[in-house]
Amino acid sequence: MPRKLRLDEQGGRYHVLNRGNYREWIFADERAKEAFERTLFEACERSGWVLHAYCIMSNHYHLALETPKGNLSEGMRWLQSVFARRFNGFRKETGHLFQGRFRSLTVENDMRMAWLSHYIHLNPVRAGLCPSADLADYRWSSYWYLKQKAGRPKFLNLETGLAGAGGLKDTPAGRRKYGDYLNWLQEDEPTRKDMAFERMSKGWAIGTREYQTDVAAYNRKQRPRVKRTYAEARKARNLLWTATLDRCLGVVRKREADIKQEPKSAAWKVGIAAFMKRYEMTTNSWLKGQLNMGTDAGVSRYATEAMAGQRPDALEYYKKLTAKIKY
């Protein structure tokens, strides 16, 4: 059966979720959860996503995402493939980790996004992993960061959930009241029903019936044009990458002739590759071809080594590019 094509929307709001293949417990131990959280945070930084809520369970995850750049599919491809590679490398295993690419439901507005945040934060309680009174101690959830304001990533926006719990502010009092609110919500079945908790992971959209109908109609209308839209998106992406590469070459004072003549692992090439992978989510395959760097695996290894400090000259080029090219 062919894959279902996705229409990504600039500024789109989504509930994104996926399960382990055959419902396997891929996050069974703390190291796996930590690795997925770290990869998720990298994906948010690379993609420019706003993360409103997340929860990592034993065999699945939930994300409440906003995509200012309209790059949900590209970012999720990076997130799941990079985590799978890291996971399989650590376990010395092969094969698919997840049931499929991922599921995504569009979210109508900020109010529905707040309800989704409550739903995600209460996930460990529904699964019997902890009582609602101890929810703040569940480490692998955005709710854990509520009391860790100084250590929160910039892309993690918990104010949506706070605002949707009665206009609470991100203050000690507001955060305490949000905990009380979740305790109350877990015990108040009619309110959870009004918020459509039972539908948060079903269907194609989270919102009013009119909104769901509009989304379905829009998807049907756009379906014949999706392939062309994807092709146009790929073309636009390649043009953007080419423009960024030109800027990088200007900063390091290199020309196209240098690309062909200098070694595949030249420090400046590795610095550019690391920079573009970090800020543009550029693929190893594209960088390999444009920078004459040999193989996809080589590009990945060189860039990883540079960021780990094992290629200090390349890291200096990366730092120079970061200082000169602002995002």
The structure's pTM equals: 0.76
Task: Supply the pLDDT for residue 154.
Answer: 94
How far is Cα 28 from Cα 49, in angstroms, rounded to an integer? 27
Task: Supply the pLDDT for residue 162.
Answer: 97
The C-alpha angle with vertex 15 and arms to 227 and 79, in degrees rounded to 5, equals 70
Sign of CA dihedral 237, 243, 247, 253: positive
Q: Which residues of 32-53 are buried (b: 16+ CB within 10 A; e: fewer)?
A: bbebbbebbbebbebbbbbbbb
Which segments within 20-141 are labelled E, that is strand?
50-56, 60-67, 103-107
User: φ and ψ at 165, to 5 degrees?
Assistant: -115, 35
Task: Supply the pLDDT for residue 203.
Answer: 86
Contact 314, 271 (CB under 8 A): yes
Task: Output the furthest CA–CA distance in the chain (Å, rounded).
Answer: 69
Task: Supply the pLDDT for residue 318.
Answer: 95
pLDDT in tens, the chain (327 residues): 334 445 567 889 999 999 887 456 788 888 889 999 999 999 999 899 999 999 999 889 999 999 998 889 889 989 998 898 888 766 655 556 787 778 999 999 999 999 999 999 999 999 999 998 899 999 999 999 999 988 999 999 999 999 999 999 999 999 999 999 999 999 999 999 999 999 999 988 999 988 888 877 766 665 554 444 556 667 767 888 899 999 999 999 999 899 999 999 999 999 999 999 888 888 899 999 999 999 999 999 999 999 999 999 999 999 999 999 976
Task: Supply the pLDDT for residue 327.
Answer: 64
Task: Supply the pLDDT for residue 98.
Answer: 81
- β-strand pairing of 50-56 with 12-19: unpaired
29: Cα separation from own chain's centroid: 21
